[in-house]
Structure 1
Amino acid sequence: MAHSTFSRPVRIKAPTKPTLPSILKPSDAGRDALEEDAMIKGVRYSGVPLIGISAEVFEVDGCQFDSVRFTGSAFERGQFSNTEFETCDFSQVTAHDVSLIRCTVSGSRITGSSWKAGTIRDVRFSGCVAAPAMFRGMKLYAVTFEDCRLMGADFQNAEFHNVRFVNCDLTRAQFANVKAGSIRIENSTLIDVGGAASLKGTTVAGPGSMELALSLAREAGIIFE
C-alpha cells in the first residue's frame, strides 16, 4: 500500500459520540418549531419538512432528525449539539456562524449547501453526499468523513485539527489556504485537488498519495513528458 507524508504522521482523535436523552419527545409543530431564538432539547423529528425555513440565535441539543428535509433553509448564529441526523437533506442550505458539536450525520445529502464562519467539533459524517458543498472558513476539530462523496467540496481558509477522511471521493476538492493542524486521508480519491500545497503535514495512506503528488506537481508548474 502506498504511504506518504509531508511530515511526521500524527494520531487523529476520534469524534466524541453525541449524548442523547434515553427518551425523545415526538416533535410538535407549535412547540418545537426551529425558528429565531428557539431552544429545543430532547425532541425527535421524523419525516418533518423544514424546507425554506429561517432561524437565528437558536440552540438544538440532544435531538434526532430522521429523514428531515432542510432544503433551502437559512441558519445563522446557532448550534446543534448532541444531535443525530439520519438520511436528511441539507441541499442548498446556507449556514453562517452555525456550529455542529458532538453530532453524527449519516446517509445525508449536503449538496449545494454553504457553511461559513462556524465550528464543527466531534462530528462524524458517514455515507454523505456533498458534491459540491462549501465549508469556507469553518473550524473543524475531531471530525471524520467516512464513505462520503465530496467532489468539488470547498474547504478554502478552513482550519483542520484531528480531521480524518476515509474512503472518500475528494476529486477537485479545494484546500487553498487551509490551516492543516492534523489531517489523515485514507484510501480516498484525490484527483485534481486544488490548494494541495496547503496540506503540508497531512498523512496520506493508499492510492490517493500519488494523485495528491500529481496535484502538487501541477501547482508547482512541473510538466511530465
Structure 2
Amino acid sequence: MGRQAAALIPGNLEEHDFEDDVVYRGVHYSGLELSGRAVESLELERCRFSDTKLSGLRVVKSSFTETLFENSDLANVSARDTSLLRVLLTGSRMTGSSWAECSLRDTTIEDCRADLAAFRFSRFRRTVFRNCNLQGADFQNADLTGTQFEGCNLREARFAEATMAKTGFTDCDLLGVNGVTSFAGAVIHSGDLQSLAYSLAGALGITIKD
C-alpha cells in the first residue's frame, strides 16, 4: 500500500461521494464525513481512508479491493454480500458493525475495536485478526477456515455452527465463548486453553469445582 500512496488523488464529496453503481480507484479519503450513506454496488479499488467517519454506512453487493482503512470510524456499519480483498483495517473503530454473507480474503484487521461486531454467514480466507477487541463478536455460521486470531479479546464471542478447520488462536482471551463445539479442527495455543476450559466443560456437561 505504501507504493500506491503516491498515486492516490485527494478525495472530496463533490466528486467521490458514495452512490449506487459507482467505481472509484486510487482515491484518498482523509478526514471526510461519509456516515449514514446507503449504497448498492459500490466498487472501490486502491483507495485509502484516513480519519474518515463511516459510521452507520450501509452497503450491499459492493467490493473493497486493495484498500486501507486507518484510524477511521466504522461503528455500526452494515455490509451485506460484500467482498473485502487485500484490505487492511488498522486502528479503527468497528463496534457493532455487521458483515453478513460477506467474503474476506487476504485481509488483516489489527488494533481495532470490533466488540459486538457480527460476521454471520461470512467466508474468510487468509484473514488475520490481530490485537483486536472482539468481545461479544458473532461468527455464527461463518467459514473461518485458516483464519488467525492473534492477541485478541474474544470473551463471549459466538461461534455457533462455524467452520473452523485450521483456525488459529494465539494469546487470545476465550473466556465465555459460545459455540465451542464448533472448534473442531481449530489450532489453539496452549496458553489459551485455560480461558477456554470453562466453555468446553459447559458444552460437555462437566461441572468444575474449586
TM-score (norm 1): 0.89
SS state at 1:134 partner = coil
More strand by share: 1
Q: Which runs of 4+ in 1 moved over 3 A?
A: 17-22
Which one of the candidate residues 66, 88, 91 is aligned to 1:104?
A: 88
C-alpha RMSD over aligned residues: 1.4
Please list, as runs of the form range in 1=range in 2, the aligned pairs for 1:28-43 lying within 5 A after superposition. 28-43=12-27
Which one of the candidate residues 159, 171, 194 is aligned to 1:187?
A: 171
Deviations 1:118-171 (A, max 9, x none): 101111111001111111000011011111000000000000122101110000
In the alignment, what sits opposite 1:196?
Answer: 180
Structure 1 unmatched ranges of 5 or more:
1-16
SS state at 2:156 partner = coil
Task: Pick 1 or 2: higher relative contact order, CA cutoff 8 A, min separation 6.
Answer: 1
In the alignment, what sits opposite 1:14?
Answer: none
Determine what percentage of the aligned residue pairs are the same residue.
33
Is 2:17–2:34's contact at 8 Å kept on the other side of the alignment?
A: no
More helix by share: 2
User: 2:91 aligned with 1:114, yes or no?
Assistant: no
In the alignment, what sits opposite 1:10?
Answer: none
Whole-angstrom distance in 2 between the partners of 1:18 and 1:150: 28
Bigger Cα displacement from structure 2, 85-94 vs 203-212? 203-212
- Check 1:18–1:174 CA distance in 2 against 1; reply closer, same or farther (3 A cut): farther
Is 1:184–1:203's contact at 8 Å kept on the other side of the alignment?
A: yes
Structure 2 unmatched ranges of 5 or more:
none
Whole-angstrom distance in 1 between the partners of 2:36 and 2:142: 27
In the alignment, what sits opposite 1:213?
Answer: 197
How many aligned positions are there? 209
SS state at 1:20 partner = helix
Structure 1 residue identity aligned to 2:44: V
- Cα distance, 1:19 vs structure 2: 7.5
